[in-house]
């Protein structure tokens, strides 16, 4: 550890840590744009000035590493004035189109203006004109005028995604960021540049003009796109609609980034993809009544000791708690013995990196957790082929399907549907509307989507990560644990209280 002095106070910080990071951890904000802990040091924005006693020239904090005896001042009038002027320089050619800019509310220029600016600009000259709303492909829009040329996006494509698609062209105040001839960006990590862009120069097409950020709340979660388990923050408005995912820093899993394929995974949580009410044969009913209906059929089979005619289908996107709940309720409480699932062993075996970065071949997000829990609970699992066979032999009269909200599970569900005899009582528990439509004759109970879950999943490296949501989007969509608890309560209710056949 190194002993440093900041603004007259003594602190102990890790030796060699970047001064901007060290100060941030201590709650001291040193303004900066071009510095990013996941990228190389640029020293271009000239905002992170600090004063060193004995040195009349101001130094930049991002090029300083903490060592014993380092002494800096971040809040002297000289520093504040220098930062104010640096901000003025950033703004003299900035178009200031906050009213139409997505970044408003989380913009580096706005934030620092309120902190250290609040001056009347003296710029009376005509501003530099550059291209606006440049289409860089399916995911990103570039506004070259808003760009403050911090270079973060360029360094990202050079150092992290290693495609070097972006560059800074020309010299002086004619400099512009972009691709060669504004051609589309091709790599699968582009949208990270939107995250790291401090201003509204790079914006995500998916989020463009959708929502003002001051209405959004964040909860932490983990992406369910593949087995990488990149940490994310879910941005939602009042728990009713999710607008975007942003990566969250985790040094062991994904550092500061996530791939673009994981970004749209929140869409399956929103209204147009969701089963919002329980249905029986296409007719809506309240969820608790659906549970009762389910229990009625189940009870008959349990009472007549025909539990071997009951089967359940599960998948590796379920959290470890969900799987535990399923086993404890269906197997231990009700005596169901037939469990079938996707081939998690094969998924784990075939899993590998797809791009030498984050994305992996296994598109299930909790394969390792699934294997761990099923093995610990000694759950015997059959394959899809075996389930199809038994369905064809009409040996199953009651099938419980836990359906994933992702496309990756659809193939298996279609096969099950095809093999399903007409008189088999089917219960589908899934958040996904399309799944319910596939099993339109069955009982469909809406469950919550991945980004509303509280639970644990395990990534390919066997790191356990928590999903920590705090909102529910639809009253009628319950968690798997809640559905099974309700089922269990229904089972234990004395028979004479049962009012519905």
Specify burial of residue 252 (Cβ count, 10 A radius: 0-12, 13-18, 19+).
Answer: exposed
Nearest to 129 by CA among 109, 143, 140: 143
SS3 213: helix
The piece of 161-169, 211-219, 244-252, 409-417 that touches another protein (CB under 8 A) is 161-169
Closest CB to another protein among 168 and 280? 168
The piece of 22-30, 123-131, 344-352, 405-413 that touches another protein (CB under 8 A) is 123-131
Q: What is the 3-state secondary structure (H, E, C) of 397-448?
A: CEEEEECCCCHHHHHHHHHHHHHCCCCCEEEEEECEHHHHHHCCCCEEEEEC
The piece of 9-17, 118-126, 220-228, 392-400 that touches another protein (CB under 8 A) is 118-126
Minimum separation from the CB atom of position 23 to another protein (A) = 19
Question: Is residue 331 within 8 Å of 307, Cβ to Cβ?
Answer: no
Closest CB to another protein among 66 and 363? 66
Closest CB to another protein among 115 and 343? 115
Closest CB to another protein among 92 and 213? 92
Minimum separation from the CB atom of position 90 to another protein (A) = 6
Q: Which of residues 303-332 bind another protein (CB under 8 A)?
A: none
Q: Could you tell me how many residues of this chain bind another protein (CB under 8 A)?
A: 43
Q: For the window 19-48, what string marks contact with another protein as x by the rule CB under 8 A?
A: ----------------------x-xxxx--
Interaction of residue 180 with another protein, rule CB under 8 A: yes
Closest CB to another protein among 58 and 336? 58
Alpha-carbon 152 to chain mean position: 22
**Which CB contacts under 8 angstroms, 24+ apart, belong to 21-24?**
22/66, 23/61, 23/74
The piece of 117-125, 201-209, 236-244, 485-493 that touches another protein (CB under 8 A) is 117-125
The piece of 112-120, 126-134, 234-242, 247-255 that touches another protein (CB under 8 A) is 126-134
Minimum separation from the CB atom of position 76 to another protein (A) = 15
Closest CB to another protein among 193 and 268? 193
Tell me the C-alpha distance between 457 and 471, whole Å. 19
Nearest to 296 by CA among 448, 427, 441: 427
Closest CB to another protein among 192 and 234? 192
Burial 166-187 (b: 16+ CB within 10 A, else e): beeeeeeeeebbbbeeeeebeb
Q: Which of 163, 383, 454, 485 binds another protein (CB under 8 A)?
A: 163
Instruction: Please give the helix or strand (H or E) that residue 89 lies within, else none.
Output: helix 77-91
SS3 25: helix
Q: Which of residues 66-85 bind another protein (CB under 8 A)?
A: 82, 85
Q: Which of 52, 67, 76, 175 binds another protein (CB under 8 A)?
A: 175
Closest CB to another protein among 88 and 195? 88
Tell me the C-alpha distance between 469 and 326, whole Å. 21
Q: Looking at the chain, how many residues does it have?
A: 501
Q: Which of 75, 173, 218, 350 binds another protein (CB under 8 A)?
A: 173
Closest CB to another protein among 181 and 356? 181
Closest CB to another protein among 165 and 405? 165
Question: Is residue 153 within 8 Å of 197, Cβ to Cβ?
Answer: yes
Sequence-ordered list of residues with C-beta below 8 angstroms from that of 220, at least 6 positions apart, any chain:
231, 232, 233, 234, 248, 466, 468
Q: Which of 13, 48, 142, 148 binds another protein (CB under 8 A)?
A: 148
Closest CB to another protein among 92 and 419? 92
Interaction of residue 125 with another protein, rule CB under 8 A: yes
Q: What is the 3-state secondary structure (H, E, C) of 466-498?
A: EEECCCCCCCCCECHHHHHHHHHHHHHCCHHHC
Closest CB to another protein among 159 and 345? 159
CB atoms within 10 A of CB 221: 25
Tell me the C-alpha distance between 240 and 242, whole Å. 7
The piece of 87-95, 217-225, 422-430, 441-449 that touches another protein (CB under 8 A) is 87-95
Interaction of residue 128 with another protein, rule CB under 8 A: yes
Q: Which of residues 50-69 bind another protein (CB under 8 A)?
A: 57-58, 63
Nearest to 148 by CA among 42, 259, 37: 42
Q: Which of 25, 138, 169, 475 binds another protein (CB under 8 A)?
A: 169
First to last CA, the chain: 71
Interaction of residue 123 with another protein, rule CB under 8 A: yes
Nearest to 399 by CA among 411, 414, 377, 416: 416
Question: Is residue 454 within 8 Å of 468, Cβ to Cβ?
Answer: yes
Q: Which of 2, 92, 410, 463 binds another protein (CB under 8 A)?
A: 92
Q: Which of 142, 149, 290, 428 binds another protein (CB under 8 A)?
A: 149
The piece of 116-124, 218-226, 301-309, 405-413 that touches another protein (CB under 8 A) is 116-124
Q: Which of 98, 168, 354, 419 binds another protein (CB under 8 A)?
A: 168
Residues forming contacts to another protein in the complex (CB under 8 A) are 41, 43-46, 49, 57-58, 63, 82, 85-86, 89-90, 92-93, 122-129, 148-149, 157, 163-175, 179-181
């Amino acid at each position: 550890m190194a002993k440093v002095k900041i603004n007259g106070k003594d602190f102990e910080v890790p030796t060699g840590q970047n001064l901007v990071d060290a100060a941030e951890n201590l709650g001291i904000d040193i303004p900066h744009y071009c510095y990013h802990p996941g990228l190389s040091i640029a020293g271009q924005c000239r905002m992170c000035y600090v004063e060193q006693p004995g040195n009349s020239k101001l130094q930049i904090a991002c090029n300083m590493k903490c060592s014993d005896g380092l002494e800096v001042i971040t809040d002297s009038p000289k520093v504040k004035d220098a930062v104010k002027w640096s901000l003025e320089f950033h703004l003299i050619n900035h178009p200031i189109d906050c009213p139409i800019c997505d970044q408003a509310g989380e913009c580096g220029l706005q934030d620092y203006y309120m902190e250290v600016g609040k001056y009347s600009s003296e710029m009376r000259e005509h501003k530099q004109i550059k291209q606006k709303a440049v289409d860089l492909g399916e995911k990103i829009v570039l506004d070259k005028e808003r760009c403050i040329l911090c270079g973060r996006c360029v360094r990202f494509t050079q150092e992290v995604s290693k495609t070097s698609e972006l560059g800074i062209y020309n010299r002086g105040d004619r400099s512009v960021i972009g691709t060669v001839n504004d051609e589309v960006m091709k790599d699968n990590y582009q949208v990270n540049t939107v995250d790291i862009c401090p201003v509204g120069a790079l914006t995500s097409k998916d989020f463009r003009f959708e929502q003002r950020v001051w209405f959004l709340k964040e909860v932490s979660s983990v992406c369910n796109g593949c087995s990488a388990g990149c940490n994310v923050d879910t941005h939602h408005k009042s728990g009713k609609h999710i607008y975007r995912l942003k990566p969250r820093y985790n040094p062991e899993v994904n550092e500061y980034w996530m791939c673009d394929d994981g970004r749209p995974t929140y869409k399956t949580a929103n209204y147009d993809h969701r089963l919002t009410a329980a249905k029986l044969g296409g007719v809506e009913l309240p969820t608790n009544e659906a549970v009762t209906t389910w229990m009625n059929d189940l009870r008959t089979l349990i009472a007549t000791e025909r539990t071997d005619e009951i089967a359940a289908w599960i998948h590796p996107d379920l959290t470890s708690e969900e799987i535990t709940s399923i086993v404890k309720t269906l197997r231990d409480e009700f005596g169901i013995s037939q469990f079938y699932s996707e081939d998690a062993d094969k998924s784990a075996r075939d899993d590998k990196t797809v791009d030498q970065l984050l994305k992996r071949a296994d598109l299930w997000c909790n394969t390792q957790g699934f294997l761990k829990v099923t093995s610990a609970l000694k759950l015997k699992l059959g394959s899809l082929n075996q389930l199809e066979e038994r369905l064809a032999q009409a040996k199953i009269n009651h099938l419980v399907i836990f359906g994933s909200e992702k496309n990756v599970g659809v193939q298996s569900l279609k096969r099950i549907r095809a093999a399903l005899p007409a008189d088999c009582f089917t219960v589908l528990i899934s958040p996904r509307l399309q799944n319910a439509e596939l099993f339109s004759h069955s009982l469909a109970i809406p469950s919550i989507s991945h980004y509303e879950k509280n639970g644990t999943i395990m990534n390919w490296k066997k790191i356990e990560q928590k999903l920590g949501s705090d909102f529910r989007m639809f009253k009628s969509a319950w968690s798997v644990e809640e559905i099974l608890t309700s089922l269990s309560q229904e089972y234990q209710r004395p028979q004479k209280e049962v009012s519905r056949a």
